Amino acid sequence: MSRITEYKDGLDKALGLCLEDHERRQSEDALRDCERLINLIHNAQLAMTGIKKAVRTKARGSEFLKSEPWCELKHYLGRWHSYRQAASFIVCAATAWPLLFRDFMITSLPSSTRISKPIVQSDLTAVAIVQHMEAFEKVKMPGLMQDAEDLRRMGLDKAIQIQLLKRTFRPIVHAEVLIHHYLTKNGITRPDRFWRQWQYIGASKPTCRLCHYYFGSHSQSQIQVRPSHLNLYPNWRLPEISNEGDAEAREAHRKLLKNIAEKVHAESYQQHRLRVVKVVDCATW
């Protein structure tokens, strides 16, 4: 309920800020459009696609969605839509699989604690990151290094500094990974421990890029999750090792982290290659 209350309060706040934004623009047409948007939002019978279309139409050709209030509005609308979809699915599932909803027990897992900033270096740059990658891979990356130099001139180093200075930069274990860690630690990973042997962890949102890499790198389990939207969130970390004195557990943790890092590096290579191809294609015209 606390999460639902948070989304409700956030939606109310975002709506208020959007109205204030319209008033500052002093546009009667904009106010009429905003009024129609508010009516759409409060009409729970209308499809969410109608609300999204209204937001997109209002923002088309303007800078509305570039401002924080409209971004927040879009975010909370999406979260409410996800909860509505989840509720509808639960009702349908209860009809399709009634046994799933009999004599069940809910295990509530506490959220992980946020750790301190994992990078304390205040002068970290894009070039330094590539140098770390070269040392990790034990190979030179001249193309990627040149990209880092080019992006530095475009303000990438400043963006890195802004991220490092954020007080909110305190990584946490994401929900899917937290559940998977709990199941693994307690030996609940065999197919016969899942409903109809469906080894699956459900969530209200698609998995992020690092969670996607985590499950793709975890060789000890075949548990599936939702397809990833491949968004990358800096506030992400692995669960703690259950027993620091367990050498085997420490080695498995190290290998898992190495596999994820390799996937991140491979993605960096791929993005670099795509950038080169686009430049070549443009040059051929």
pLDDT tens column, 90-108: 899 999 999 999 998 999 9
Q: Verify that 180 and 278 share a domain, yes or no.
A: yes
pLDDT at residue 41 above 50? yes
Q: Verify that 11 and 95 share a domain, yes or no.
A: yes
In the chain, % of residues over pLDDT 90: 26
Q: Verify that 279 and 189 share a domain, yes or no.
A: yes
- pLDDT confidence of residue 275: 59
- pLDDT confidence of residue 37: 55
Last residue of a domain, one of 99, 118, 133: 99
Domain for residue 228, yes or no?
yes
d(CA 92, CA 71): 32
Of residues 181 and 35, more confidence is placed in 181
Per-residue pLDDT reduced to its tens digit, 13-36: 877 777 777 666 655 555 555 556
Domain for residue 151, yes or no?
no
Domain for residue 121, yes or no?
no
Domain for residue 75, yes or no?
yes
Q: Verify that 179 and 95 share a domain, yes or no.
A: no
Domain for residue 41, yes or no?
yes
Number of domains in the chain: 2
**Full residue range of the structural domain in which residue 47 is found:** 2-99
Last residue of a domain, one of 55, 72, 99: 99
Per-residue pLDDT reduced to its tens digit, 56-78: 655 554 555 556 777 777 778 87
Mean pLDDT of 129-150: 78
Last residue of a domain, one of 82, 99, 116: 99
Per-residue pLDDT reduced to its tens digit, 202-243: 988 899 999 999 999 886 678 999 999 999 898 999 998 877
Domain for residue 159, yes or no?
no
Domain for residue 170, yes or no?
no
d(CA 95, CA 213): 35
Domain for residue 66, yes or no?
yes
- pLDDT confidence of residue 212: 95
